[in-house]
């Protein structure tokens, strides 16, 4: 079974802090994704990566950056956290195009 592991289930940070969310997958998948989920809005794509050191902006990249130095690890960075970034963050990975994405359990991030 594919395992996608997110570093924290719950995280509380302060406005202005730099925040790192980590994601690791164990299936040698090329593609990795970061989403945020807010009530009534579904999953919105922040960034994705289709290879090591490659990244593509999703639909809502503002205020975020990502890093993919190794194939199995994809990090989401909030450069200067703001209260409107309080949300549930989900990481996913997939193999070749069109195959299902496999999700982590999510990180519920609160910015105070």
Partner 1 sequence: ILNVEQSPQSLHVQEGDSTNFTCSFPSSNFYALHWYRWETAKSPEALFVMTLNGDEKKKGRISATLNTKEGYSYLYIKGSQPEDSATYLCAFSLYNFNKFYFGSGTKLNVKP
Exposed, middle or buried, 49 (CB in 10 Å: 0-12/13-18/19+)? Answer: buried
| Shortest Å distance, C-beta 17 to partner 1 | 26
> What is the distance between the alpha carbons of residues 66 and 88, in angstroms, rounded to a whole number?
17
Q: Are 47 and 36 in contact (CB under 8 A)?
A: no
Where do we find the tokens 């070749």?
96
User: What is the Cα 101 distance to its own chain's centre?
Assistant: 13
Nearer to partner 1, 68 or 81 (CB): 68
Nearer to partner 1, 41 or 52 (CB): 41
Nearer to partner 1, 25 or 81 (CB): 25
List of residues contacting partner 1 (CB under 8 A) = 4, 31, 33, 35, 40-45, 48, 50, 58-59, 90, 94, 97-106
| Shortest Å distance, C-beta 82 to partner 1 | 22
| Shortest Å distance, C-beta 40 to partner 1 | 6
> What is the distance between the alpha carbons of residues 103 and 35, in angstroms, rounded to a whole number?
10
| Shortest Å distance, C-beta 2 to partner 1 | 10
């Amino acid at each position: 079974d594919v395992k996608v592991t997110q570093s924290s289930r719950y995280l509380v940070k302060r406005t202005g802090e730099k925040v790192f969310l980590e994601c690791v997958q164990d299936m040698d998948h090329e593609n990795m994704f970061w989403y945020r989920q807010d009530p009534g809005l579904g999953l919105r794509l922040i960034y994705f990566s289709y290879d090591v050191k490659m990244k593509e902006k999703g639909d809502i990249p503002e205020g975020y950056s990502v890093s993919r130095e190794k194939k199995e690890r994809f990090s989401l960075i909030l450069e200067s956290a703001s209260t409107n970034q309080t949300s549930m963050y989900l990481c996913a990975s997939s193999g070749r195009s069109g195959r299902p994405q496999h999700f982590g359990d999510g990180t519920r991030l609160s910015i105070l």
